[in-house]
Amino acid sequence: DAGVTQSPTHLIKTRGQQVTLRCSPISGHKSVSWYQQVLGQGPQFIFQYYEKEERGRGNFPDRFSARQFPNYSSELNVNALLLGDSALYLCASSSGTGASYNSPLHFGNGTRLTVT
């Protein structure tokens, strides 16, 4: 079975631009969440979506938005990019409404975003 897939794998943007990152969850998984990982730190929670509805939001500015499609894939959008947005953006999926005992998160390998 395919794992969580993310595209693109790498991306270079300039300040002020907008970016869209894409994620396809594991087949059968209905919950998708997004994390930002800055070099040397652990992943930081951005959003969770389940059945196309936002179920959780981390401490990120409104420049960050996301959505989930009927096939459970998801997009993360970041507007007005800043240098500090340079990071590895990770998508994770899980079955049911979210991670629970015996239903851990499965992460993709991320999109490396560089803002210059």
Q: Which residues bind other proteins (CB under 8 A)?
A: 4, 31, 33, 35, 40-45, 48, 55-56, 58, 88, 90-92, 94, 97-110, 112
Closest separation in Å from C-beta 44 to other proteins: 7
Closest separation in Å from C-beta 27 to other proteins: 17
Q: Smaller CB distance to other proteins: residue 12 or 80?
A: 12
Nearest to 89 by CA among 71, 105, 108: 108
Q: Smaller CB distance to other proteins: residue 19 or 92?
A: 92
Nearest to 34 by CA among 66, 78, 82: 66
CB < 8 Å & 24+ apart, contacts of 44-53: 46/76, 47/76, 48/98, 49/74, 50/97, 50/98
Q: Smaller CB distance to other proteins: residue 19 or 91?
A: 91
Closest separation in Å from C-beta 7 to other proteins: 14
Q: What distance in Å separates the CA atoms of residue 48 and residue 7, rounded to the nearest whole number? A: 18
